[in-house]
Chain A
Amino acid sequence: MTDTRKEAPDQPLSGAPLLRKHLLLIVGGAAGLIVTLFVMNTLFDGSLEKMTGTTDWRNILLVNALVGACIFLFVVELRRGAIRVLLTVIVALLLGFLVTFVFNLDAADRFARGEFRVQVVSDAEPTANDDVDLRFNRVRGGDFNKPNVVEPLSEVAWTFAGADGDLVSLLAYAKNRRSEVDLLVELRDDAGTVLAAATSATETQVEEKFDDLVSVKDAVIEGYELPADGVYTLYAKPEEIATGTVLSEALSQSQLAFEALLLGPIERVNRWGVWIQDAITLILLGMSFAIVFRAQQFSLGAEGQLYFGALVSGIIALNSPHVPGVILIPFIILASGTAGFVYGLIPGALKAYLGANELVSTLMLNVVATRFFEMVLNFQLKPPDAGYVASAKFTENAVLPVIVDKTQVTVAVFLLVVVVFLSWLLIRRTPLGYEIRIIGSNLRFANYGGVNSRRTIMLVMAIGGIVAGLAGMHLANGIHRQLILNISFALAFEGVVVALLARLNVLVVPFTGLLYAYLRAGAQFMERDANVSFEVVRMIQAIIILLITAEALVTFFQARQKRADIDETGHTVESLEGADG
């Protein structure tokens, strides 16, 4: 790895001593191992029997070991930068928590909302009076502060008639356990004077006396003796919510949400599968961008190349129902890669020989590819009787073999390992990779040195296309198992983030892909489990990405820290290194 040290911008000027180098390996290895074990432990609740009882547990272990390996590579490649990335993720998560908290401040609203019932319970004979709203022992109800209603019901004042000396109990309670409304009840005479009031019920009242009560939040005025004959009013409304309640509710909701975000993806094997399958797509896309960006070519063509790869592999899959999978799958892989290659070559050639800006040309070509995909899907591939725009399901022989039961974790995992290795080989161990790196570092220097930069630029964009084409194949033949509209779900552009997070280092891309996919999966489960709206989830994601990307911020704080250290310790270079390490 001697020639590749520049990929780690934090490389100290002095050559790393031997011990330090080994230390790095140990730290990286330990981090990887810990994560592997942690994921396995969480997946199977720490029970070995549960693990060995699961089908394909060996493959799960294998994939998690690969996850550990990604973390190892991340630590070893980025060195101190890895700590920086981790710190940033933590800070971002804290900020995200804060945002979730703020958005959950209305979580306590549910106490002011919901279906309720009121009742005047009495053993006395009802007084004959047809004008009143309530009769003894009859239940009436409604729905307080129903959302999306023009004039929501916020309080009720219903009348009942009673005689002097009648013993009555007034109840106001939630309709059932699902409506959590916290109620207040008052007894008023016909002049409006409050005779009695209550905001809660006792345990005994709930458990024994009144069967209808749901919780202690319901309100009961028990055994009130009416002072005179006449009409009385039962007044009921949701209780005012105390600030403390609001805050503690928001907090506990946010905690719930973050638990879902942080642990959701590894709670069960099927969820874990969602994470891994997304990660495979994202890593392939990230790799595609990392390779192309490495040569300072800002090609965003992965989206289009993905669609082309998916289309080609889909067409082959649909037309070869009888070819054995052992032959068909490698052929599909090859074909989708070729499709991506060709579709990457076009903007590459345009850039190299006509000077067309790759950003513009790839974005345009993306439109062409997605529309072409839709057209072919709509008019050629869609079965005539299909109710929606999608191809027929692929036959079993054309689907990437699943390696973990009940998930869509397929042999694409192994394909990915090969892709990562080959990308590394390409970038760091081939003359072409050298040309790519030098062009990325200084195009004019490359030209001066005699590098055929046009050819290299064209090739690098085409090679990026291969990997993006494979991502399309993975989506079509691994995940959806048919061609559907919008097959990429705009994942392609998230690949940009993955590549940038990895600082275009192809060995770090697997880690950042996993991290990003984890956050995506976590966000899904956060929405599902914790009732956090998807917008909030996206915002948290954005904050995290922003912070991680805004590395300058961290550098800025470090620089300040250094300055402060120098002032205190008397300006020695040693103190600098101490502060840094």
Chain B
Amino acid sequence: MPIIETRGIHKIYGNGVHANDDINFEVEPGEIHALVGENGAGKSTLMKILYGLEQATSGQVFIRDEEVAIGNPQDAIERGIGMVHQNFMLVDSFTVAQNIILNRETKQGIQIDFQSAVSDTEALSREYGLTVNPNARIEDIPVGMRQRVEILKALYRGAEILILDEPTAVLTPSETQDLFAAIRNLVEGGKTVIFITHKLKEVIEISDRVTVMRDARKIGTVETAQTSERELARMMVGREVFMQVDRPEVTRGASVLQVDDLTYADDSGHQLLKHVSFNVYQNEILGIAGVEGNGQTELAEVLTGLRPPTTGEAFINDEQILGRGPRSVREHQVAHIPEDRLTNGVALTSSIDDNLIIDRYYREPFTRRGLLNIDSIVENGANLIREFNIIAPNGAIPVNALSGGNMQKVVVARELSSSPELLIAAQPTRGVDIGAIEFIHQELVDQRTNGLAILLISADLQEVMKLSDRIMVMYEGEIVGIFPNDESLTEERIGYYMLGAERQPAEEMERYA
């Protein structure tokens, strides 16, 4: 008897998007069920329906063979469904215990009984091996612990079925291992876990069964033991996917970007970058590894002119580029794939064509005699749409009509087509589906082989290791190690540096910088 089952779920959004098409989905009690699919495949929609955040257009949901109507998250919680969102929903200034009991407070008179909140939290935390400090404030604890708080919160509300939405996206490798251990504990304790992801390696590692979705439909459910990453990728994308990037050996050329003792402090005086110095050379990808929030974002924004440095300099081909704004940097042939494409990389309500010319609209042939040249703007759009395989009927539609992967292709297309000498790529594949990841990876490597210098910033260590020629690790705004990416380098070793547990000796660092 499945613990949760959907029959014939259809979801059609107000804008006509068919997000779920006849989904029959079953989860057995006590299993870890992975739900995989590309972005826009409909897995989040399905989970939102189960959690009451969206209503199905038609179809039924059964919990333990009993048909249920889940009108809102409150209903879902009452029926034992808990969800841990990708973006944590915690009150930063509250303590862990306060967050966990929020809205379920036991009271003594009119006072909230914080003592029992702390002891409840401790008990729960011990039961499932989810270590947290009940008295720490959320803002002071690391991401991994915040996630455990979210899980505990769901358990405290009596969740029997836990939906984890891309839980590993924000974790370091060792934190991921901790999470997996906790998930196994939960299942041993009789809980059921639905695990949404698009990292196939994790699916193979943790799940009992996998359901694959593509284009709003369910492609199939398979036993994890009887499948492989390659098989799953094929199901997800609908064709053969080459997981490996073809990265030919090339000798690196001259130094393109030279960063010299760069320091950046924000308005409140926090030192976010401390004496950062390094080079990026022609024909190479320099990958920056590090847990998010260790200065990578600031580094990219300072180098692209979006923030002024506090001290220090950066040179492109021996010309100082900092302090004169983004356009000046771009005119030195620097392209930038920004970390958060929705806020920085695109204007959602503007057309694809308009989005593709932000760095060049004022130049010939896009502006002629003071007027925009619509023909060449449209032509530029059409060419890039074709070249970069952006799925869109034409360049006139707004970017927000595209899927995440295609939005990212718009950014990549614009940046790579500006004939740059240096590309700063921050999280180029975040939230992008497998097919698009494959495309973007190959494109980056090809460009590097053709001479481009690339500074790659990614929270996905596997990505960094797959693409980079050299890897630089950042911890708390400092460079703690620079390594050539050869066989001797392992994820575990980089992980130690990422967590600040180890630090490369200065002379060794200088050798590789």
Contacts and interface: CB of A to CB of B under 8 A. Distances in A.
Contacts of B338: 448
28 contacts: A3-B354, A5-B397, A6-B351, A425-B371, A430-B371, A430-B372, A431-B361, A431-B362, A431-B370, A438-B354, A438-B358, A441-B347, A441-B348, A442-B347, A442-B349, A444-B343, A445-B343, A445-B345, A445-B346, A445-B358, A448-B344, A450-B330, A450-B358, A451-B358, A558-B14, A567-B58, A576-B12, A576-B16
B200 interface: no
Contacts of A430: 370-372
A431 B398 CA distance: 19
Contacts of A4: 351
Contacts of A442: 343, 346-350
A434 B358 CA distance: 9
Contacts of A452: 325, 327
A446 B338 CA distance: 13
B358 A437 contact: no
B250 interface: no
Interface string B251-270: 00000000000000000000
Interface in A411-449: 425, 428-431, 433-434, 437-438, 441-442, 444-449
State the 10 A-B residue pairs at the shortest beta-carbon distance, nearest first: A450-B327, A449-B358, A441-B347, A442-B347, A5-B396, A559-B14, A450-B326, A441-B350, A445-B347, A448-B344
Given A15-B394, A441-B350, 16 more contacts: A2-B396, A6-B349, A6-B398, A11-B396, A11-B398, A429-B372, A430-B370, A430-B372, A431-B361, A448-B344, A450-B327, A558-B14, A566-B58, A567-B58, A571-B58, A573-B18
Interface in A1-54: 2-6, 11, 13-15
A577 interface: yes
Contacts of B343: 442, 444-445
B336 interface: yes
A576 B18 CA distance: 10
Chain A contact surface mostly:
helix
Interface in B317-360: 325-330, 336, 338, 343-351, 353-354, 357-359
A417 to B, nearest CB: 19
Given A3-B374, A562-B12, A577-B16, A437 B367 contact: no
A555 interface: yes
A435 to B, nearest CB: 8
B84 interface: no
Given A13-B397, A431-B372, A450-B330, A571 B10 contact: yes
Nearest to A579: B16
A110 interface: no
Given A3-B351, A13-B401, A563-B57, A448 B378 contact: no
Interface string A446-477: 11111110000000000000000000000000
Given A431-B372, A438-B354, A441-B349, A2 B336 contact: no
A11 B398 CA distance: 9
B377 interface: yes
Contacts of B354: 3, 6, 434, 437-438
Nearest to A567: B58
A428 B354 CA distance: 11
A447 B328 CA distance: 12
Which of A6, A15, A433, A566 is packed against the most chain B CB atoms within 10 Å? A6
A102 B12 CA distance: 42
Contacts of B398: 5-6, 11
Which of B351, B359, B371 is packed against the most chain A CB atoms within 10 Å? B351
Nearest to B353: A3
Nearest to A5: B396
Given A431-B367, A566-B12, A448 B306 contact: yes
Nearest to B358: A449
B475 to A, nearest CB: 27
Contacts of A433: 372
A428 B372 CA distance: 8
A446 B358 contact: yes
A5 B349 CA distance: 10
Nearest to B11: A571
B393 interface: yes
A3 B396 contact: yes
Contacts of A5: 351, 396-398
Which of A2, A11, A580 is packed against the most chain B CB atoms within 10 Å? A2
Contacts of B377: 2-3
Contacts of A11: 396-398
Nearest to B395: A2
Nearest to B361: A434
A193 B353 CA distance: 93
Interface in B231-257: none
A566 B372 contact: no
Given A3-B378, A13-B393, A571-B58, A562 B14 contact: yes
A3 B347 CA distance: 14
Nearest to A1: B374
A3 B325 contact: no
A571 B372 contact: no
Interface string A553-576: 001001100110011000101001
Contacts of A14: 393
Which of B306, B350, B395 is packed against the most chain A CB atoms within 10 Å? B350
B202 to A, nearest CB: 32
Contact of A437 (B58, B350, B371, B401): B350
B350 A6 contact: yes
Contacts of B357: 434
Contacts of B393: 13-15
A444 B397 CA distance: 21
Contacts of B16: 13, 562, 573, 576-577, 580
B499 to A, nearest CB: 31
Contacts of A580: 16
Contacts of A3: 351, 353-354, 372, 374, 377-378, 396
Nearest to A2: B378
Contact of B371 (A13, A429, A448, A577): A429
Contacts of A13: 16, 393, 397, 401
A567 B56 CA distance: 11
Which of B348, B362, B372 is packed against the most chain A CB atoms within 10 Å? B372
Contacts of B58: 566-567, 571
Contacts of B358: 438, 445-446, 448-451
Interface in A515-562: 555, 558-559, 562
B372 A445 contact: no
Contacts of B397: 5, 11, 13
Which of A2, A450, A555, A559 is packed against the most chain B CB atoms within 10 Å? A450
Contact of A434 (B57, B305, B348, B372): B372
Contacts of A571: 10, 12, 57-58
A341 to B, nearest CB: 19
B460 to A, nearest CB: 22
Which of A441, A442, A449, A573 is packed against the most chain B CB atoms within 10 Å? A449
Interface in A244-301: none
Contact of B350 (A438, A555, A567): A438
Contact of A15 (B305, B336, B396): B396
Contact of A449 (B359, B374, B401): B359
B344 A444 contact: yes
Contacts of B367: 431
A123 to B, nearest CB: 84
A180 to B, nearest CB: 55
Interface string B366-401: 010011101001100000000000000111111001
Contacts of A562: 12, 14, 16
Contacts of B18: 573
A429 B372 CA distance: 5
A559 B12 CA distance: 10
Contacts of A438: 347, 350, 354, 358
